Amino acid sequence: MGFLQKYSISPKYLTKPSRRRSGQLVSPGVKFVVAHDTGNPQSTASGNVAYYERSRDEESASAHIFVDDKQIIECIPALTAPSEKAWHVLYRVKTDNQMYGCDANDAAIGIEYCYGQNIEADEAYRKYVWVIAFTCSKFGLDPTTSVVGHAFLDPTRKTDPGSGLGFSRRTYDQLLRDVQSEYRVCQTTTDQQGTVPVATQYDFVQQAGTVRVTSKLNIRFGEPSRMNDVVQEVLSGSPLDYVGWVTNGEPVNGNPKWYRDVNGNYFWSGATIV
């Protein structure tokens, strides 16, 4: 079993040893993922990493990965080399110990979401969701229980990643749902044709028909998931032909039924009527 490599991860490690990167290995192993945002609108992934490097001997705060619409940059080894500790949650706050039995700095990967008017929110969000899901896959973590927002670990001081997600019109709860969906969609296996997504093994019912769109609807490339690219937008009132449907696509508002069109693309049934 593997994971679909939708994006590349660029290692740009901070100098070690320094206050931001000690070089100590994660111990006793990666146990969970902490979702952050930068709290600094307009700052990019490369800009944040450059600032961390310039101030490496001035501050101890750090994170493993920064994500924007252009790049996924790893500045402290996590996914591209043996995982090292980063200082992204206060040691004196013990919520992480209560939830996971260890300190986040010792055993969690910290992933930062970059946001703001100069960052294309949807693309940054897609990369953010994917790299969190990939982190879960790499370390054998359950995405339903092993992802937590910084605000839940330090609620009196922090609001991330909810504040940053607001720029992409998303919520923290939606992030958790989308990570779980992305994890499932991107799981891969190897068959006689090579490596293919497990998610292509949907429960497909072959039966042609036509529905009418009830609100603006996106047709998604290749998979029944909101994380896949939009190939067409269809206006309310338009008819849409389908060749069948799946009942185990990404649940949207609790409804996992998606129609497949003649081109092999998908659209969610909840925005249509028969």
121 and 225 in a single domain? The answer is no
CA proximity to 114, closest of 64, 57, 164: 164
Asked whether residue 274 is domain-assigned, the answer is no
9 and 39 in a single domain? The answer is yes
* Residue 178, token pair as written in the block: 């989308």
Contact at 8 Å (CB) between 227 and 130? yes
For residue 91, the domain's CATH number is 3.40.80.10
Count up the domains in the chain and report the number: 2
For residue 58, how many other CB atoms are within 10 A of its CB?
A: 9
Task: Return the bridge partners of 210, or none.
Answer: 241
Contacts with 62 (C-beta within 8 Å, 6 or more apart), sequence order: 14, 20, 21, 52, 75, 76, 86, 87, 88, 110
CA proximity to 96, closest of 41, 40, 31: 31
Distances (CA, A) of 101 to 30, 104, 152: 12, 9, 15
Contact at 8 Å (CB) between 68 and 42? no
150 and 81 in a single domain? The answer is yes
Q: What is the pLDDT along the chain (274 residues), one digit of tens a residue?
A: 688 888 999 999 999 999 999 999 999 899 999 999 999 999 999 999 999 999 999 999 999 999 999 999 999 999 999 999 999 999 999 999 999 999 999 999 999 999 999 999 999 999 999 999 999 999 999 999 999 999 999 999 999 999 999 988 899 999 998 898 888 878 765 555 555 555 556 788 989 999 999 999 999 988 888 878 888 999 999 999 999 999 988 888 889 899 999 888 899 999 999 8
Pure H helices in the chain? 45-54, 95-100, 104-107, 121-138, 150-153, 162-165, 172-186
57 and 81 in a single domain? The answer is yes
* Residue 160, token pair as written in the block: 């991330």
Asked whether residue 216 is domain-assigned, the answer is yes
Q: Check residue 54 and give its pLDDT.
A: 97
73 and 134 in a single domain? The answer is yes
Contact at 8 Å (CB) between 211 and 201? no
